[in-house]
Chains A and B, each alone.
Chain A
């Protein structure tokens, strides 16, 4: 393309060229651009990392660092940043990019800004591009998604675009790795080229009106190269980070502009888009026009008031059925593999504490959690399809008016759905919400969405106690109960949000402004990556946190060894030893607290041990019943069904107990990572701690109340 030589045309720079740097220090590069342009995909292609990508605005919400070695052997450190529509940020995630470029972040200003533009939406993208080239930093434009643009019949004249922008433009297809080498070369050369500067014409009156503002900004420490940009930004959003001199200059400039018949509020948009119209005219050929795309036709149906909602509900129903049905064979395979491993290890090692640790502690504990991996992977697959197809943003738009009735925001929708996978990234995803109160309300209810860590608890109890009954069509009682638990969580989230918006978080909900991405067929490779990535997090968690807790629980359930009288059956011996262990004693202390819910001490102690992570409930039950029970080879569900109350002989677990337990887990916030992230995202420090405490407290209260109501209700109907 001859890109680099053309880029040297950049002229009229008022910035001081950057001081030469020792070649040993890494070149710092930041990826900046509109949301959903492919920054993270490009980041992955450049660095070989596996950052999350998805087809909606606001996938990346924090700064991520990676690196590669350039052709000349120099390290290049790359920052992936959240997208932004302009350098005048409105949301916490948008502010991250600006803070970095303005030198307000805890890392230095990048040496090269890689401006990622999406060829399909070039016109809108050029707004931010035109702002970024005025920053006075070395820049390269990556014109991404060229393939999608070509497919739609758009032709971009890259050479002409380079002339217009005055910076190197490299066409790329990040998903296929095309143009990446060329981009690397352009990045390496960028610091040696003259820095780009303003390309758009500014009418004389505006120029004269703004000059004092620019001067005042420079006096206040703004780099001269960026003063023009800052001055324009100040016209619409008078920042408070500059002194009174700047403020006075802005006020004067505004009235001068008004006198000249210009609207200071919209001046920047008019100037930039006016220039962009010309650039588009000269660089892009769009023979078909973009009036009606396939996406629009699909939207005719999916955004329909009635059909759209029905399709949405049907999609959700299919997801939950699939989680149960598709996973069942895989789950059985994992289960029998674990059972086999248990028996093999058990017989190979001979009786003893070590054998018990491996079989009852590790295999029953961690394995008991890993059994649910197939289900979780399928859930991730479905969420991935929703995210990558572009449907997520549509659903958010569709749901906006319902969300609004409870004081949430259309933008709260994506965090809530991500909450089905895990509350931690979901809470971080609330950074795309502008107003702090809207954001806080969302943060407070996200953990009510049943995350994948609850799935093991639900599945264990449903599998063991809910009769497998076909209901008709593709519906099955197992899937239906599971769906019920998810619905309970979701509906409660909405109700609780409503209460928060009426009490602690009063105020108007911000109206929705959301870009809808074009639909895309999710690429199997990208989906596989996402599912693998998220599942491996789950496995890693099982191998670390859950493993450690399982061993601790095993030890507590095994020691101290107590003397038991001779001549009683094996099973009773183990039962007595368990009751006398540390865990047993703790359990009996806890028992009165959970007795009103119909839970025995074993459940009580499993609940308490799962305060750090919900899956531990399953592993604790596995360990307790492994240590205590003697029917070797029986799975945990069989053991649970066989459990009898030693005094009355009645089964400990009834359908009501199981439902009560599930309801408890729907509500309770038993996850340390969520508490930690809530503290940080709710404002950090004491403010954050207070909000997190409110969150933990209300959820625990709901959990207890919910489980109690199930017990009472079941009693009233006579099937407790």
Chain B
């Protein structure tokens, strides 16, 4: 676990930080950015699941919650993630609403 369990700051950065459209920017993104901006092979820590209530619930149960570590297996269409040992495909809309901090490889 990257961060200790109960000490996460509640004020997760509101909204994506930088221009997340290009992957070059994402590489340079040291602070948080949208999960959608992460490219294949990137690992990241989730800081905010900013989706609709029901979707956020579902994602959290499947292992995408604030503080969780995910890695991007494939970013060619939508995102294919490795989360807790399973492969999770999520659409671009969901991936855009999740804020992460990319980890250096």
Q: Which A residues are within 8 Å of any B CB, using their own CB?
A: 85-86, 88, 90, 120-124, 127-128, 203, 205-206, 236-237, 258, 261-263, 265-266, 268-271, 273-274, 276-277, 290-291, 295-296, 299-300, 303-305, 393, 397-398, 400-401, 404, 410, 434, 510-518
Contact = CB atoms under 8 A, between A and B. Distances in A.
B100 to A, nearest CB: 14
Contact of A263 (B10, B58, B84, B92): B10
A273 B68 contact: yes
Contacts of A401: 77-78, 91-92
A123 B86 CA distance: 9
B62 interface: yes
B89 to A, nearest CB: 4
B88 A237 contact: no
Nearest to A275: B5
Top 7 closest A-B pairs, CB basis? A269-B65, A86-B61, A512-B91, A269-B60, A511-B93, A511-B91, A516-B87
B56 A274 contact: no
19 contacts: A85-B61, A86-B61, A90-B57, A123-B85, A124-B63, A124-B86, A127-B62, A203-B5, A237-B53, A237-B57, A261-B7, A261-B10, A262-B10, A274-B5, A401-B77, A404-B91, A511-B90, A513-B91, A518-B87
Contact of B6 (A128, A262, A265, A276): A262
A461 B67 CA distance: 61
A266 B67 contact: yes
Most chain A CB neighbours (cut-off 10 Å) among B53, B58, B91: B91
Given A299-B74, A516-B87, A127 B10 contact: no
A258 B11 CA distance: 10
Contact of B91 (A122, A300, A400): A400
A265 B56 contact: yes
A512 B63 CA distance: 16
B86 A258 contact: no
A304 B76 CA distance: 7
A270 B65 contact: yes
Contact of A303 (B53, B80, B88, B93): B80
A269 B46 CA distance: 13
Contacts of B63: 123-124, 127, 269, 273
A76 to B, nearest CB: 30
B85 A290 contact: yes
A236 B86 contact: no
B87 A258 contact: no
Interface in B49-105: 49, 51, 53-63, 65-68, 71, 73-74, 76-78, 80, 82-94
Contacts of A511: 51, 55, 90-94
B45 to A, nearest CB: 13
Contact of B61 (A269, A277, A398): A269
Contacts of B62: 85, 124, 127, 513, 515
Contacts of A263: 8, 10, 66
A266 B66 CA distance: 7
Contact of A236 (B60, B71, B84, B89): B60
B82 to A, nearest CB: 7
A299 B84 contact: no
Contacts of A261: 6-10
A121 B78 contact: no
Given A258-B10, A262-B10, A410-B91, A291 B82 contact: yes
B1 interface: yes
B87 A510 contact: no
A151 to B, nearest CB: 15
Contacts of B71: 291
Contacts of B53: 236-237
Given A88-B61, A511-B55, A516 B89 contact: yes
Nearest to A299: B74
Nearest to A85: B61
Contact of B77 (A270, A277, A398): A398
B57 A512 contact: no
Contacts of B76: 303-305
A124 B74 CA distance: 20
Contacts of A258: 10
A86 B9 CA distance: 26
Nearest to A400: B91
Contacts of B66: 263, 266, 269-270
A513 B55 contact: yes
Contacts of A291: 71, 82
B77 A516 contact: no
B90 A513 contact: yes
A300 B75 CA distance: 10
B61 to A, nearest CB: 4
A291 B78 CA distance: 19
Contact of A305 (B77, B93, B94): B77
A400 B92 CA distance: 10
Contacts of B5: 203, 270-271, 274
B13 to A, nearest CB: 14
A320 to B, nearest CB: 26
A203 B6 contact: yes
A266 B60 contact: yes
A398 B78 CA distance: 9
A295 B58 contact: no
Given A88-B61, A262-B8, A266-B65, 20 more contacts: A123-B84, A124-B63, A124-B85, A237-B53, A263-B10, A265-B56, A269-B65, A270-B6, A277-B1, A291-B82, A296-B87, A299-B80, A303-B74, A398-B77, A400-B77, A404-B91, A511-B51, A511-B91, A516-B88, A517-B87
B75 to A, nearest CB: 10
A410 B88 CA distance: 13
A273 B84 contact: yes
Contacts of B6: 203, 205-206, 261-262, 270
Contacts of A296: 73-74, 87
A294 to B, nearest CB: 12
B59 to A, nearest CB: 7
Contacts of A270: 5-6, 8, 65-67
A515 B91 contact: no
A512 B94 contact: yes
Most chain A CB neighbours (cut-off 10 Å) among B7, B57, B74, B78: B57
Contacts of B61: 85-86, 88, 127-128, 269
Contacts of A393: 89
A261 B58 CA distance: 23
Contacts of B56: 265
Contact of A397 (B78, B93, B94): B78
Contacts of A517: 87
B36 to A, nearest CB: 11
Given A266-B66, A269-B61, A270-B65, A90 B54 contact: yes
B10 A266 contact: no
Interface in B27-59: 49, 51, 53-59
